[in-house]
A and B are shown apart, each in its own frame.
Chain A
Amino acid sequence: MEKIKSLTDLKNLQEKLNSKTGLSNRSDNAGENIRVKVAMATCGIASGAKEVMEVFIEEFTKRNIDAVVTQTGCMGYCYAEPTVEITKPGNEPITFGYVDVKKASRIIDKYVLNNELVDGIIPVNYETIDNK
């Protein structure tokens, strides 16, 4: 990686990252792909988030689904760990709580493939500071 040498460089990099080509490597916005974020703070990992993440990666590979799976930090829903957020292109992100290995498969079957929801969705209960 070449060092960022000025504020302009930094802004250019940001622009590039937010452009279509940049998005595919990102977790917070994967552009055209389905993206899955698994909350992997200590609390999430302790309640099984690693296994859940593995299921998503394995199943997507097995079923040849084009999706980006990444880790992220704590979403704050300790009572419903592990939590997973899924964004399908053109849709609002949906957060699923209490996701164990079984439920991960069910989410792929129902939501990812068929747009059906499953119980245990956690509504977003906070405001962000984004103006976008």
Chain B
Amino acid sequence: MAKIKFHFLVCGGAGCQAAKSEAILKNFQDVIMERKLETEIQVIKTGCFGFCGDGPIVKMMPDNTFYTKVTPEDCAEIIEQHIVKGIKVSRLLYQDSGNHENGSGFKTRGLHKKQIRIALRNCGFINPENIEDYIARDGYQALGKVLTELTPEATIEILKKSGLRGRGGGGFPTGLKWEITRNVKADQKYVVCNADEGDPGAFMDRSVLEGDPHTVLEAMAINGYSTGADKGVVYIRAEYPLAIERLKIAMKQAREYGLLGNDILGTGFNFDIEIRYGAGAFVCGEETALIHSMEGLRGEPTVKPPFPSESGFLGKPTNVNNVETYANIPAIFLKGAEWFAGIGTEKSKGTKVFALAGKINNVGLIEVPMGITLREVIYEIGGGIKNDRKFKAVQTGGPSGGMLTEKDLDTPIDYDNLIAAGSMMGSGGMIVMDEDDCMVAMAKFYLEFTVEESCGKCSPCRIGNKRLFEMLEKVTKGQAIMEDLDKLRNLSNVIKDTSLCGLGQTSPNPVLSSMDNFYHEYLEHVGDKKCRAGNCKSLMQYIILAENCIGCTLCARNCPVDAIAGERKQAHLIDQEKCIKCGACMDKCKFNAIFIK
């Protein structure tokens, strides 16, 4: 049997497919057959390279040559030159654009990649249930370095210099938070890892805990050393059984190896961690609510100040950081504050993990440097919009965030720019919407979530969000009047202005930002009783076009609510009162006689 010598990897991602990668595949095959090279060359369709702007991409193996913007016509030349003559086709070679603001020091495999994995550096590399995998990849060396070489103050100084900000959403400088906790005098302090990830569709923290639990433990120990705490608590939602399991295994192994417990690495530093389970209430991601929940009290926020760093868990100074924040910390101490600060934008350093979802080809967990644009995330890493639909908006920051639109596509993503654009970083949910998504319905979806998740403590959030939701429901049902739109805006502003905690202070954001960016859709719902996206069922009508209907009765027989009447061989009619807008009739009709009005 002949041995395959070359592999051609042709990108089969949606972006490249749109740019004719299928034709490229076929042309390669044809030329290979023609030249009888099929025993030496194998052509393979791959997933997305995450570089759709330069697609279609062809990677030649084993020499790792990248060809970009390949056309079907180029195939013969590539085989002729590259394979037969052994000369690379220089005009198609990947050119480093020089736009390498984050490139220095990274191992680059051919193409300059849009993603950099710091928090996720071990996810997908190591066996999370084997501490030795972690140790082999420099695990616990950051802790060792901190304990043996640095004072707590120096540790905090490095963290401050790195510019790391809280990844849970607020973006508070992590070093400063540690310093505040350190400066409070108390007989007992705590560090808490907030693993109560609650944004709909977000799973960044779960992935870190499932893929690299030790990094969180190590960072918490560093946190304990520098703030003066010898106890750590991971507050994790009970809906994450695998993460809990792996965390438990990691804690057990760390204790066995002496990396948690007393006299860690012979330095006299004691630190141990316990797990507390949350029931998955969204509001318990808020620090004060989280602490009350840990104390066995009702999970609801209290007015700050006092901040947890002054009076937190059991009344003691408590430093709360989110999983992803912690996951960055060992890398910072291993590679230095300057290295970390070299990535990202002026005020937002490092990377951010996003759960990219919605109407996008490559749904996935990505880690990108701060400062990357939405366009790069959506069209390159994400491989563009599904089914070639038109991009409409991106929701970042989950139910607390806002919608970013076409005009924001080239804005560098960082904490401050997102806020300026009317959204927020949030914990990292990123939901892409296309022209088939109704923005009013979207806002309603998020409101439904906050109504469900409000703790009910303060009246604007408890009642206000409910009223917002009810008004949005009126809009989507075509029952609202113009005056309601003013009410919506006023109520949104008052809820933001008066709510007790971050949940209520941000919950109207989807409403406000959709009104700011898509007011015409609101007007259409209210004035024309129309939903341009065809999402709002109450505003749709299925109509039978009499001249196309031959009276085959197929639609009537398939209607689940008997809303279609008509004699055989005569035009049928849909009773709009009965119709539930399921669309079954339209699917069945073979004569294009049913359309949506």
Interface residues of A (CB under 8 A from B): 1, 3-7, 9-11, 13-14, 17-18, 22, 25-29, 37, 39, 41-43, 45, 70-80, 85, 91-92, 97, 114-132
Q: Which of B108-116, B170-178, B555-563 contacts A (4 or more CB under 8 A)?
A: B108-116
B88-132 toward A: CB 8 Å interface, digit per residue (1/0)? 000000000000000101111100011111101111111111101
Whole-angstrom distance between the Cβ of A123 and the nearest chain B Cβ? 4
Given that A41-B211, A76-B366 are known contacts, is A129 also in contact with B124, CB under 8 Å in the complex?
no
CA distance A37 to B126 in the complex (A): 9
B112 to A, closest residue via Cβ: A127
Most buried by A among B109, B145, B335, B361: B109
With A80-B47, A125-B48 as contacts: A14 and B138 at CB distance below 8 Å: yes
Which residue in A17, A78, A85, A123 is a CB contact (below 8 Å) of B365? A78
Residue of B nearest to A43 (CB): B203
Contact A11:B141 (CB < 8 A) given known A28-B125, A129-B117: yes
At the interface with chain A, which of B252-260, B295-303, B317-325?
Answer: B252-260
Task: Tell me whether B107 and A39 are in contact (CB under 8 A).
Answer: no
Give the A-binding residues of B (Cβ under 8 A). 1, 3-4, 7, 9, 11-12, 42, 44-51, 59, 62, 64, 103, 105-109, 113-118, 120-130, 132-133, 135-141, 144-145, 147-148, 203, 206-208, 210-212, 240, 242-243, 256-259, 265-266, 331, 335, 361-367, 381
Taking a contact as CB atoms closer than 8 A, the residue among B49, B124, B144 that contacts A76 in the complex is B124
Distance in angstroms from A37 CB to nearest chain B CB is 7
Most chain A CB within 10 A, of B9, B256, B257, is at: B257
> Can you report 30 residue pairs joining A to B where beta carbons are below 8 Å apart?
A4-B259, A7-B141, A7-B265, A10-B144, A17-B136, A28-B136, A29-B136, A41-B206, A72-B123, A73-B123, A74-B123, A75-B123, A76-B364, A76-B366, A115-B3, A119-B12, A120-B46, A120-B47, A121-B9, A121-B44, A121-B46, A123-B47, A123-B59, A125-B48, A126-B50, A127-B103, A127-B113, A128-B117, A128-B121, A129-B335
User: Are A77 and B259 in contact, with the CB atoms below 8 A?
Assistant: no
Q: Which of A75, A77, A79, A120 has the most CB of B within 10 A?
A: A79
| Given A125-B48, A125-B114; A3-B257 close (CB under 8 Å) | yes
Contact (Cβ within 8 A) B210 A42? yes
Question: What residues on A are CB-neighbors of B127 within 8 Å?
Answer: 26-28, 37, 70-72
CB distance from A108 to the nearest CB of B (A): 16
In the complex, what's the smallest C-beta–C-beta distance from B223 to chain A, in angstroms?
19
Closest 10 CB pairs of A and B: A73-B211, A3-B258, A125-B50, A126-B115, A75-B124, A7-B144, A122-B47, A76-B365, A17-B136, A27-B127
A91→B386 CA distance, assembly (Å): 34
Cα–Cα, bound, A71→B57 (Å): 30
Whole-angstrom distance between the Cβ of A126 and the nearest chain B Cβ? 3
* B124 lies within 8 A of A37 (CB): yes
CA distance A132 to B257 in the complex (A): 26
Known: A17-B135, A123-B50. A73 touches B106 (CB 8 A): no
Cβ 8 A contact of A125, one of B1, B115, B118, B147: B115
On whether the beta carbons of A28 and B137 are closer than 8 Å, the reply is yes
Residues of B within 8 A of A76 (CB): 120, 123-124, 207, 364-367
Cβ–Cβ < 8 Å partners of A3 in chain B:
256-258
Pair B121/A13 contact, Cβ less than 8 Å: no
Query: What residues of A have a CB within 8 angstroms of the CB of B259 in the complex?
Result: 4
- Does A115 lie within 8 Å of B106, measured CB to CB? no
* Main DSSP-derived SS at the A contact region: loop
B67 to chain A, nearest CB (A): 13
A127 CA to B368 CA, complexed, in Å = 10
Q: How far is the CA of A126 from the CA of B354 in the complex (A)?
A: 14
In the complex formed, the residue of A with least CB distance to B129 is: A71
Closest chain A CB from B589 CB (angstroms): 33
Which of A13, A73, A126 is in CB contact (< 8 Å) with B367?
A: A126
Taking A3-B256, A17-B132, A73-B211 as contacts, is the C-beta distance between A120 and B124 under 8 angstroms? no
Assuming the contacts A26-B136, A78-B365, A128-B106, asked whether A72 and B51 have C-beta atoms less than 8 A apart, the reply is no
- In the complex the two chains form, is B125's CB within 8 Å of A129's CB? no
Instruction: Tell me the bound Cα distance from A85 to B210 in angstroms.
Output: 17
A127 x B364 contact (CB < 8 A): no
Contact of A42 among B137, B242, B256, B366 (CB under 8 A): B242
How far does the alpha carbon of A129 sit from the alpha carbon of B104 in the complex, in Å? 10
Known contacts A7-B145, A27-B126, A72-B124; A117/B42 CB under 8 A: yes
CA distance A25 to B232 in the complex (A): 31
User: Which residues of A sit under 8 angstroms from B258, Cβ to Cβ?
Assistant: 3-5
Chain B residue with the shortest CB-CB distance to A1: B256
Q: In the complex, which residues of chain A have a beta carbon less than 8 angstroms from the beta carbon of B123?
A: 41, 72-76
B206 to chain A, nearest CB (A): 6
Q: Is the CB of B381 within 8 A of A22?
A: no
A37 to B355 Cα, complex, angstroms: 22
Of the candidates A5, A14, A22, A74, which one forms a contact with B124 in the assembled complex, judged by CB atoms under 8 Å apart? A74
What is the minimal beta-carbon distance from A3 to any residue of chain B, in angstroms?
Answer: 3
